[in-house]
Amino acid sequence: MRYLLIIILVLFSSMKLIFDFSKDSDISDWNVVVDGVMGGKSTGNFSLNEEGYALFLGEISLANNGGFSSVQYDLPQMEVGSHKYIALRLKGDGKKYQFRVKNRDEVYYSYVHDFKTSGKWEIIKIPLEEMYPSFRGRKLNQPNFDHETIDQVAILIGNKKEESFQLLIDKIELE
């Protein structure tokens, strides 16, 4: 029994919480950014549902050269340390999304990694070293993520087609 407890403590201590959604969560620092910044017509809404999960939903429109919706969180600068992954516990709608991080708020580009949801609760593990730099949908000729800190996380949908989307998020952690 003692060894099992030690193993459980080691597993949990290897995680570093970025955000854990609950009914009492303050999500006022989470901001929706849609293609309206460029004249597009997509929508996005971010709220807590009755169970306390974050609910990101909306409609993607290709009108006026649009096509994306995102939600981002400017967190206090967090040390990455020896963590190698971002772990997302979520329930998607079977669509493809993109997870994004910035190592500093002042940087104009994000490090990105695509992931597909299954329609069921799942844990998506994203290797930090596979996150590549991108700006406005274009991959930059720079090294993949290799920084000591993160300052922002975001989730974006932009699959180049008109569609509705819905994503439930339980927590985001460094692993």
**Which domain CATH number covers 76?**
2.60.120.430
Give the pLDDT confidence score for residue 6 in this predicted structure.
42
Partner residues linked to 123 by β-bridges: 89
How much of the chain is helix, strand and coil, in % rounded to 5? 15, 50, 40
- Evaluate whether residue 11 is within a structural domain: no
More confident residue, 101 or 136: 101
Give the pLDDT confidence score for residue 38 in this predicted structure.
83
* Percentage with pLDDT > 90 across the chain: 88
pLDDT tops 70 at residue 62: yes
pLDDT band at 8 (very low <50, low <70, confident <90, very high): very low
Q: Which residues of 45-57 are buried (b: 16+ CB within 10 A; e: fewer)?
A: ebebeeeebbbbb
Mean per-residue pLDDT, 25-31: 97
Give the pLDDT confidence score for residue 78 in this predicted structure.
97
What domain range includes position 91?
16-174
pLDDT tops 50 at residue 90: yes
Could you give the number of structural domains in the chain?
1
Contact 104, 151 (CB under 8 A): yes
Give the pLDDT confidence score for residue 9 in this predicted structure.
42
pLDDT band at 13 (very low <50, low <70, confident <90, very high): low
- Evaluate whether residue 10 is within a structural domain: no
Q: In what order do the strands lie in the sheet with 132-135?
A: 30-34, 69-79, 149-157, 96-102, 110-116, 132-135, 138-139
pLDDT band at 3 (very low <50, low <70, confident <90, very high): very low
What pTM does this model have? 0.91
- Evaluate whether residue 118 is within a structural domain: yes
